[in-house]
């Protein structure tokens, strides 16, 4: 029996069921939660009585607001090994979900960010509802869009991917489906019925048909409607040029975009731009993407911006981080290179769980 106060873990028929149940923290993933999730998945990988897994969350505002970086930031101040351990565990969980030898259906309703997107979008069967509120906000805390974002954000056109990763812009189900980030959308009111239908499906070969039976179209695609404007600005070659081009623009999205680029971590913005636009950083597989994220994360958490960003945004909440450097113009090519080409970074190991990588990448 796996005990964690923030997870409901059990089985029904041939289904392993995991429900995130930490609503007061928007189901943010702590280190213990990641460990418990991985332990359950490892057990079910070897259990012939379990032939599918469903991951969802208790009713509320969020599916998962990401990793609980607020909890680990003080530990990183004292010992950087605490940060290494957290990101190792989180990224190995993402790999475990992606490489799991049985179908993993993740049903995400509401706010889904960062580490929550990793759980959702690395599954074999990600499903979002019409209440989806998605973002990759890591540049606000001195990190970068991780958990495989260099795969799933790049499903959008390059300028749109850069825009989402640099600004942390929030989008809904219509835009996610249009760009192929999460093509399966269901009505929010069908959340529980879909889970019940997946559990009751006699054979796992019928899961796709069951999910498609709940699928719905979403007409609202506000980001798609503004793609021409985004492309005009975010196709420029570097963050400084992008920001300069926005000066004086009176488009409805311009002021909010300028604010994001002026207040988020300059180094993180530059790293995100490089990660999402440089062809040499485009990974061939999800495994490659998450391994690349691990190497970058170990460098980023050693830079003072990460602890400072978490302090300003999540702990003291003064929203006044002292970034180093303080502006986009202060970020040098050498600073970015030091993050994106870590020659001595350890390689993230494939998690052991009787996981077959056959046919998976």
Structure tokens at 121: 């979008």
Catalytic residue among 16, 66, 67, 118: 67
Residue 360 pLDDT: 63
Confidence of residue 120 (pLDDT cuts 50, 70, 90): very high
Active-site residue flag, 146 = yes
Pairing of strands 15-20, 7-12: antiparallel
Structure tokens at 218: 């979403």
Indicate if the pLDDT at residue 159 is higher than 70. Answer: yes
Active-site residue flag, 213 = no
- Please state, in angstroms and rounded to a whole number, the distance separating the CA atoms of residues 292 and 259: 29
Tell me how far CA of residue 155 lies from CA of 113, 158, 164, 171, 180, in angstroms: 17, 8, 12, 15, 6
Active-site residue flag, 115 = yes
Class level of CATH domain 7-340? alpha beta
Catalytic residue among 94, 146, 293, 308: 146
Tell me how far CA of residue 308 lies from CA of 40, 70, 145, 323, in angstroms: 34, 11, 18, 7
Residue-wise pLDDT tens digits, 296-315: 999 999 999 999 999 999 89
Tell me how far CA of residue 239 lies from CA of 137, 166, 227, 269, in angstroms: 17, 9, 18, 7
Residue-wise pLDDT tens digits, 305-352: 999 999 999 899 999 999 999 999 999 999 999 999 977 778 898 887
Active-site residue flag, 67 = yes
Structure tokens at 69: 């970086």
Mean pLDDT of 30-50: 97
pLDDT above 70 as % of the chain: 97
pTM of structure: 0.95
Catalytic residue among 68, 138, 175, 293: 138
Residue 230 pLDDT: 99
User: Under 8 Å CB-to-CB from 208, ≥6 apart: which residues?
Assistant: 125
Q: What ranges in 247-285 are assigned the alpha helix state H?
A: 254-263, 266-277
Indicate if the pLDDT at residue 356 is higher than 70. Answer: no
- Please state, in angstroms and rounded to a whole number, the distance separating the CA atoms of residues 310 and 321: 9
- Please state, in angstroms and rounded to a whole number, the distance separating the CA atoms of residues 341 and 345: 9
Confidence of residue 75 (pLDDT cuts 50, 70, 90): confident
Q: Mean of the per-residue pLDDT values for the chain?
A: 95
Q: How crowded is residue 45: how many other Cβ atoms within 10 Å of its Cβ?
A: 21
Catalytic residue among 66, 110, 114, 115: 115
Indicate if the pLDDT at residue 139 is higher than 90. Answer: yes
Give me the residue spans of the domains in the chain.
Answer: 7-340
- For the ranges 79-83, 112-116, 250-254, the lowest mean pLDDT is seen at 79-83
Q: At which residue do the structure tokens 């001595």 appear?
A: 344
- Please state, in angstroms and rounded to a whole number, the distance separating the CA atoms of residues 56 and 188: 13
Residue 354 pLDDT: 44
């Amino acid at each position: 029996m796996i005990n964690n106060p923030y997870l409901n873990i059990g089985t029904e028929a041939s289904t392993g069921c995991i429900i995130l149940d930490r609503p007061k923290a928007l189901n943010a993933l702590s280190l213990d939660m990641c460990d418990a999730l991985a332990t359950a998945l490892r057990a079910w990988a070897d259990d012939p009585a379990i032939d599918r897994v469903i991951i969802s969350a208790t009713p509320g505002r969020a599916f998962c607001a990401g990793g609980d970086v607020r909890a680990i930031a003080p530990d990183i101040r004292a010992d950087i090994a605490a940060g290494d351990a957290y990101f190792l565990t989180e990224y190995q969980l993402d790999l475990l979900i992606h490489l799991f030898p049985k179908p993993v259906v993740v049903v995400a309703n509401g706010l889904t960010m960062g580490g929550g997107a990793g759980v959702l979008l690395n599954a074999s069967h990600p499903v979002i509802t019409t209440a989806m509120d998605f973002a990759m906000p890591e540049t606000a805390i001195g990190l970068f869009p991780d958990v495989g974002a260099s795969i799933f954000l790049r499903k959008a056109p390059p300028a749109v991917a850069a825009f989402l990763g640099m600004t942390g812009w929030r989008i809904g189900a219509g835009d996610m489906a249009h760009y192929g980030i999460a093509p399966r959308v269901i009505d929010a009111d069908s959340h529980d019925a879909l889970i019940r239908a997946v559990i009751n499906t006699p054979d796992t070969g019928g899961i796709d048909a069951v999910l498609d039976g709940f699928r719905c179209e979403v007409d609202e695609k506000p980001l798609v409607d503004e793609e021409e404007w985004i492309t005009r600005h975010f196709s420029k070659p570097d963050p400084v040029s992008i920001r300069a081009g926005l000066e004086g623009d009176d488009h409805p999205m311009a002021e909010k975009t300028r604010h994001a680029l002026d207040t988020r971590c300059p180094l993180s913005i530059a790293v995100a731009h490089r990660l999402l636009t440089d062809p040499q950083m485009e990974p061939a597989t999800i495994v490659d993407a998450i391994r690349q994220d691990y190497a970058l994360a170990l460098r980023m958490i050693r830079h003072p911006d990460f602890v400072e960003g978490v302090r300003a945004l999540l702990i003291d909440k003064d929203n006044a981080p002292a970034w180093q450097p303080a502006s986009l113009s202060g970020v040098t090519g050498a600073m970015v290179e030091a993050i994106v080409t870590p020659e001595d970074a350890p390689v993230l190991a494939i998690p052991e769980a009787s996981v077959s990588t056959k046919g998976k990448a």
